[in-house]
């Protein structure tokens, strides 16, 4: 069967697992690829990271050159030291880039950077954590912490809702007492705390 996107993934929105009528066993199999299948090889990651380093190094050199990387009358200019730092980043990342490309040529040495199953486990932590940081910004740290811990426990830890809520609220309350009342270090607050007069 030909995958129209050529991505090996089900096209977005057309066939979810819940859509029973056009259930396609072959596509189902592709969607649920074995958990040990590598998502990206180590050599690809090496090249990507070395490339990012190289870009960063060029950026550092450019900005240092812009503000002056030479000698003024009174001594070295601001960009003098960072310019050479940028040069060393460019040098080391170029070597790593070449090494990465050469490693990729040799098919036999391709290792897996991360496999499908473990990657989804990592994303299960990373994505909620990013949402949590967004939550801190929008509704303050205490409410966001309680909601985040409770939801994480319910959806990823498969705990009962009551226990999860108790842990979440408990941690948030403890944090509140520790920081706002005891150490008097103000943390970001939202409308709920403001309504309560803090």
* Positions that interact with another protein (CB under 8 A): 42, 45-46, 49-50, 53, 56-57, 59-60, 63-64, 67, 71, 75-82, 85-86, 88-89, 91-93, 95-96, 99, 113-114, 118-119, 121-122, 124-126, 128-130, 132-133, 136-137, 141, 145, 148-149, 152-153, 156-159, 167, 171, 175, 179, 183, 185-188
Q: How far is the CB of 158 from another protein (least distance, A)?
A: 8
- Helical residues (DSSP H) of the chain, grouped into ranges: 25-31, 42-67, 80-105, 116-139, 141-155, 161-176, 191-195
Q: How far is the CB of 9 from another protein (least distance, A)?
A: 21
Closer to another protein at the Cβ: 27 or 149?
149
Q: How far is the CB of 16 from another protein (least distance, A)?
A: 26
Closer to another protein at the Cβ: 15 or 113?
113
* CA 198 – CA 184 distance, rounded (Å): 12
Instruction: Give the Cα-Cα-Cα angle 141, 144, 149 (nearest 5 degrees).
Output: 120
Rg over alpha carbons for the chain, rounded to the nearest Å, is 25
* CA 85 – CA 53 distance, rounded (Å): 12
Closer to another protein at the Cβ: 11 or 76?
76
DSSP class of residue 124?
H
Q: How far is the CB of 44 from another protein (least distance, A)?
A: 11
Q: How far is the CB of 161 from another protein (least distance, A)?
A: 14
* CA 171 – CA 161 distance, rounded (Å): 15
Question: CA quadruple 18, 38, 119, 48: dihedral positive or negative?
Answer: negative
Closer to another protein at the Cβ: 27 or 50?
50
- Spatial neighbors of 155 by CB under 8 A, at least 6 apart, are none
Closer to another protein at the Cβ: 30 or 154?
154
Closer to another protein at the Cβ: 27 or 145?
145
**Nearest Cα to 83, choosing from 103, 102, 108, 65?**
65
Q: How far is the CB of 84 from another protein (least distance, A)?
A: 9
């Amino acid at each position: 069967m030909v995958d129209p996107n050529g991505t090996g993934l089900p096209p977005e929105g057309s066939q979810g697992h819940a859509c029973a009528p056009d259930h396609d066993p072959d596509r189902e199999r592709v969607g649920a690829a074995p958990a040990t299948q590598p998502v990206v090889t180590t050599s690809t990651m090496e090249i990507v990271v070395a490339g990012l380093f190289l870009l960063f190094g060029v950026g550092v050199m450019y900005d240092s050159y812009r503000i002056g990387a030479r000698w003024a009358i009174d001594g070295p200019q601001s960009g003098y030291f960072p310019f050479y730092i940028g040069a060393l980043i460019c040098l080391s990342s170029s070597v790593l880039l070449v090494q990465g490309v050469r490693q990729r040529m040799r098919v036999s040495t391709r290792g897996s950077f991360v496999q499908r199953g473990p990657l989804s486990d990592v994303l299960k932590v990373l994505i909620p954590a990013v949402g949590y940081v967004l939550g801190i910004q929008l509704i303050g740290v205490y409410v966001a912490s309680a909601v985040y811990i409770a939801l994480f426990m319910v959806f990823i830890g498969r705990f009962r809702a009551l226990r999860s809520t108790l842990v979440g609220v408990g941690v948030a309350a403890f944090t509140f007492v520790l920081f706002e009342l005891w150490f008097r270090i103000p943390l970001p607050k939202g409308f709920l705390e403001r309504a309560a007069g803090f």
